[in-house]
Amino acid sequence: MNRIGEHFHGWIYAIFALLTLCVFFACVCLGSVGIPLRDTARVILDAIRGVPSDGALQLARSVIIPVRLPRVLCVALVGASLALAGAAMQGLLKNPLADGSTLGVSSGASLGAVMAIAFGITFPSLPFAGSMVMAILFALLSLLIILGLAYRLDCSLSTNTIILIGVIFSMFASSVMSIVITFASDHLKSITFWTMGSLQGASYHNAAVLAATLLICATVLLLHANELNAFAVGEENARQIGVNVRRVRLIVLITVSCLIGVCVSIGGTIGFVGLVTPHMVRMIVGPNHKRLLPASLFSGAVFLMLADLVARTLLNPRELPIGVVTSIIGAIVFVFIYYRSRRR
Amino acid sequence: MKRMTKWLAVLTAAILLLAVGCTAQPAQPAEPTEAPAVEQPTEAPAVEQPTEAPAEQPTEEPAPDASVSIIDMMGHEVTLEKPAERIVALTASDCEIVFALGAGDLLVGRGEWCDYPAEVLAIPSVESGGNTNIEQILALNPDVVVMSSMAQTEEQVKQLNDAGVAVVVNEAKDIAGVYTSIELLGKLLGKEEQAAAIIDGMKAQFAEIEANKLDGEQTIYFEVSPLQWGLWTAGGGTFMNEVAEMVGLKNCFADLEGWAQISEEQVLERNPDYIVTITMYYGQGPTPEEEIMSRPGWENVTAVQNAAILNLPNNELSRPIPRLADGAKILYDFVMEKAEALQPAA
C-alpha cells in the first residue's frame, strides 16, 4: 500500500472534501421518491433564494428541502463525528479496536439519555437538551469507569483488557437500561425503540447542533494531533517527550464523550462507523494523526451517507434501520482489512 | 506485537459476534409480519401478536359428553373433557374476546399488556411474548392457555401439556381470522351462542358500512409508528387494509405485504387523503394529530391540508378483536363527516 507523504497535506483535504461533497449531492439527489436532477437543483435554488417553487415542483420541494436534505446532513455529521471519535480513541488508547460501540461508550450514552427521558430530566426551553446532556455525561462516565477498571487490572492498558471491560460494561449498561425501562411507566416503554436509533425525521435543528459540536470537538482534537501521535507510540513515550499525559487524556476523553453523546442522543446507537472508517483511512493516509483525523472525519461522513442511501433505497418503498446496514458493511470490511493487514 | 495480533484475532471474533447481536436487534422491527407491538412503540402495550400458533394436543381422552374438541389456528387438535373453566389468555386480543363472550370470570390470568376492558386489569398478570414464564402460568392452575405463535417455543408448549394444561393458539391476521378466533374461543368456553351473536353483530356492522361505501378513489395511510421512531404502516393483508377497503378507501401502501417500515418520502409522494394514527397521547406536548400536522414537508399532503387525521389510540383498528367493527364505524363516520365538511366549499 503506497502511503502519501507528508507534503501532500494540502490537497488531501481538497480531495476528501470534494469526495464528501460529491457523495452528499448524490445522496440528496437519490432517494425513495425519484426526482430528476434538474428538479432537485431547481428546488434547492428556489429554497436558497426563498421563493416558492412552481406547482409541478411542489412534491419535489417538500421531499427534498424539509425531509431529505436535513436527513443527509445529519447522517453526514453523525458519520463524521463517530469516525473522528473512533480515530482519536484508537490513537489515545493505542488500541486499534477502540470505538464508541466496542468500548461501551455508546451504551453508556444511551443509558444516560434513557434515564433523562424516564426521570423527566429536562431544561426549560430546550426540550431535547436533557437527554443530550445526560448522554454526554454518561458517555464520559462510562469512559472513566472502563479506563479506571482497566488501569486497575493492568497499567499498560493492553488492547484485550480494555475491550473486554468495554464489552462487559456494554452489557451492564444495557441491562440497567432494561431495568429502567421496566420500572418506567407505560408510555416510557417507547424508549426501547429510541435506543435502536433512527435518523428519520432529522431536522435542520439537529443538524445545527451536530455541526456545532463537530466544529468545536474537531478543532480541539486537531490541536492535539501531535500529542495523539505521541500516545499512539506509547504513553511512556508521550510523557518523556514532554506531553502532559493526564491533561491531554482528559481533554481527548471529554471531547470524544461530547461527540458520541450528541450523536447517540440524536441518532441512537450506530455501530461500526468509528471502528472501520479510521482503519480504511489509515491504509490510505498513514497513521499520522494530523492527516488521519481530518481524513477520518470526511470518510466517516461518506461511509455513513452511503450506508444511509442503501437503507433508504434498497428495499424501496420500505426502509431499513441504518444500524443494520452499517453493521453488515462494517463487519465485512473489517474482516477484509484485518486479514489483509495480518497477511502482510 | 505478535502476541497482540493473536489477541486481536480473538477479539475480532468476539466483536463480530457482538456486531451480529447488535444487528439482530434493530432488525427485529423490520419483520414485516410482526404485529404492531413490535413496530409500534407508543402503542406497545397494545398488541402482542395477534396470535396464531401451534396448539397442543389433548392430554386427556375425550369424555363422552360435554367434551370439547377444536382445531386451533396452527391446525392442532385440542380436546377437553368439558368447556374450559380456568383460562389464561396471553394476548390482549384474546382477553378482549373472552370478555366479549361474557366469560371474563373464567379468566384466571392475563398477559401483561392486556388492557381492555378495564376489568381485565384486576386479573392476575403474567409475562407474555418473549418473556412467557411457564411457572407463573402453572401457578394459576388453568385448564387452557391461549397464546400466540410468536415467541412460543415447542418446549414451552410441551411443559404446559405435561402439566395437564391444554394450549390453544389463536392468531388472526385478517377479519375472517377474527371470526374464526371468536368461534374457537366460544367453543372452548362453551359460549358458542354468544360467539355466533358477536360474529353476526360484526358482520351486520360491516355490511352497513359497506352498503354505503365510498368509491375507492380516495386514499388512506395508516400510521402505526410515528416519525420519531421511524414510520411503520399497515400494508396489504392486514385487517386495517381490509377495513380501508370496506369503507371504500384505498390503502396507499397496499402494495406492501403486512406491516412495514416505510420511507417518509413515500408518504409525501403517495399523498394520502386521510391519515389514521394509532399513537397514544399522554397528555403532554402536541397530540399525535398536531404532531403530524406540524411535520416539515407534510404541509402539502392532502390529509394534512384538510386536517383529515384521525387518532385511534385505543386499538379499535390495530387488534384482531370484535371492536374492529366499531373501529371501522368510527373511521367511516370520520371520513363521511370530513367529506361533507369539504363538500360545500367545493
Nearest CA-CA partner of A88 in A211, A220, A272, A221? A221
Which pLDDT score, from 0 to 100, does residue A197 have? 61
Long-range contacts of B122-128 (CB under 8 A, 24+ apart): B126/B88, B126/B90, B128/B48, B128/B90, B128/B91
On whether the CB atoms of residues B249 and B275 are closer than 8 A, the answer is no
Arithmetic mean of pLDDT, A168-186: 81
The size of the A-B interface in CB pairs under 8 A is 157
Chain A residues with beta carbon closer than 8 angstroms to that of B297: 62-63, 65-67
Question: What distance lies between CA B194 and its chain's CA centroid?
Answer: 22
Which pLDDT score, from 0 to 100, does residue B83 have? 85
Asked if A67 lies within 8 A of B268 by C-beta distance, the reply is yes
Q: How far apart are CA A53 and CA A51, in angstroms?
A: 6
- Does A5 fall in a domain? no
Q: Within 10 A of B79 (CB to CB), how many other CB atoms are there?
A: 16
Chain A residues with beta carbon closer than 8 angstroms to that of B235: none
pLDDT, block means (10 residues), chain B with 346 residues = 52 49 40 39 42 46 64 80 87 90 89 84 81 83 84 76 85 87 89 91 91 88 85 89 91 90 90 91 79 89 92 85 90 89 65
Which pLDDT score, from 0 to 100, does residue B220 have? 94
Which pLDDT score, from 0 to 100, does residue B46 have? 42
Q: Tell me, what CATH number does A274's domain have?
A: 1.10.3470.10
Closest CA of chain B from A333, distance in Å:
11
Closest CA of chain B from A47, distance in Å:
13
Closest CA of chain A from B77, distance in Å:
37
User: Which residues is B71 bridged to in the sheet?
Assistant: B77
Q: Within 10 A of B154 (CB to CB), how many other CB atoms are there?
A: 9
Asked if A327 lies within 8 A of B19 by C-beta distance, the reply is yes
Arithmetic mean of pLDDT, A277-305: 90
- Does A63 fall in a domain? yes
In terms of pLDDT, which residue wins out, A180 or A158? A180
Which superfamily is assigned to B212-342 in CATH? Nitrogenase molybdenum iron protein domain (3.40.50.1980)
A68 touching B (Cβ < 8 Å)? yes
Q: How far apart are CA B233 and CA B253, in angstroms?
A: 7
By mean pLDDT, which of A19-33, A68-82, A313-327 is the weakest? A313-327
Calculate helix-pair angle for A273-285, A289-313, nearest 10 degrees: 130
- Point out the residue among A32, A190, A335 whose CB comes nearest to the CB of B229: A190
Grid coordinates representing B24? 439482530
Q: How far apart are CA A255 and CA A91, in angstroms?
A: 14
The 3-class secondary structure across chain B, one letter per residue, is CHHHHHHHHHHHHHHHHHHHHHHHHHHHHHCCCCCHHHHCHHHCCCCCCCCCCCCCCCCCCCCCCCCEEEECCCCCEEEECCCCCCEEECCHHHHHHHHHCCCHHHEEEEECCCCCCHHHHHCCEECCHHHCCHHHHHHCCCCEEEECCCCCCHHHHHHHHHCCCEEEECCCCCHHHHHHHHHHHHHHCCCHHHHHHHHHHHHHHHHHHHHCCCCCCCEEEEEEECHHHCCEEECECCHHHHHHHHHCCEECCCCCECEEEECHHHHHHHCCCEEEECCCCCCCCCCHHHHHHCCCCHHHCHHHHCCCEEECCCCCCCCCCCCHHHHHHHHHHHHHHHHHHHCCCC
User: Which residues is B257 bridged to in the sheet?
Assistant: B236
Answer whether the bond into residue A321 is a cis peptide, omega within 30°: no
Asked if A67 lies within 8 A of B8 by C-beta distance, the reply is no
Closest CA of chain B from A319, distance in Å:
5
Residue in chain A lying closest to B27 (CA): A324
Closest CA of chain A from B290, distance in Å:
15
Chain B residues with beta carbon closer than 8 angstroms to that of A67: 264-265, 268, 296-297
Same fold, B68-205 and B212-342: yes
Give which of B15, B255, B304 to mutate to test A binding, by max A Cβ within 10 Å.
Answer: B15
pLDDT at A284 over 80: yes
Give which of B127, B263, B281 to mutate to test A binding, by max A Cβ within 10 Å.
Answer: B263
- Does A3 fall in a domain? no
Which pLDDT score, from 0 to 100, does residue B254 have? 92
Q: How far apart are CA A292 and CA B122, in angstroms?
A: 62
pLDDT per residue over A81-124, tens digit each? 999 999 999 888 887 778 888 888 888 998 888 888 777 777 66
Q: How far apart are CA A169 and CA B184, in angstroms?
A: 48
Chain B residues with beta carbon closer than 8 angstroms to that of A318: 30, 32, 256, 260-263
Q: How many residues does chain A have?
A: 344
Closest CA of chain A from B8, distance in Å:
8
- Point out the residue among A186, A187, A193 whose CB comes nearest to the CB of B229: A193
- Point out the residue among B27, B256, B280 whose CB comes nearest to the CB of A317: B256
Looking only at the bridges linking them, the beta strands covering B68-71 and B77-80 are antiparallel
On whether the CB atoms of residues A25 and A31 are closer than 8 A, the answer is no
pTM above 0.90, yes or no: no
Query: Domain total for chain A?
Result: 1
Q: How far apart are CA B80 and CA B59, in angstroms?
A: 8
Asked if A198 lies within 8 A of B230 by C-beta distance, the reply is yes
Domain B68-205 class in CATH: alpha beta
The domain ranges of chain B are 68-205, 212-342
- Point out the residue among A66, A159, A190 whose CB comes nearest to the CB of B11: A159
Asked if B26 lies within 8 A of A323 by C-beta distance, the reply is yes
- Does A184 fall in a domain? yes
Q: How far apart are CA A203 and CA A200, in angstroms?
A: 9
Closest CA of chain A from B239, distance in Å:
20
Name residues whose C-beta falls within 8 Å of residue A188's C-beta, 6 or more positions apart in sequence.
Answer: A117, A118, A181
Which pLDDT score, from 0 to 100, does residue A310 have? 92
Q: How far apart are CA A81 and CA A174, in angstroms?
A: 23
Chain A residues with beta carbon closer than 8 angstroms to that of B18: 102, 167, 170
Residue B73 phi, psi (nearest 5): -75, -5
CA neighbours closer than 13 Å in the CB half-sphere of residue A248: 24
Q: Within 10 A of B295 (CB to CB), how many other CB atoms are there?
A: 19
Asked if B265 lies within 8 A of A335 by C-beta distance, the reply is no
B141: left (phi over 0), alpha (psi -120 to 50) or beta: left
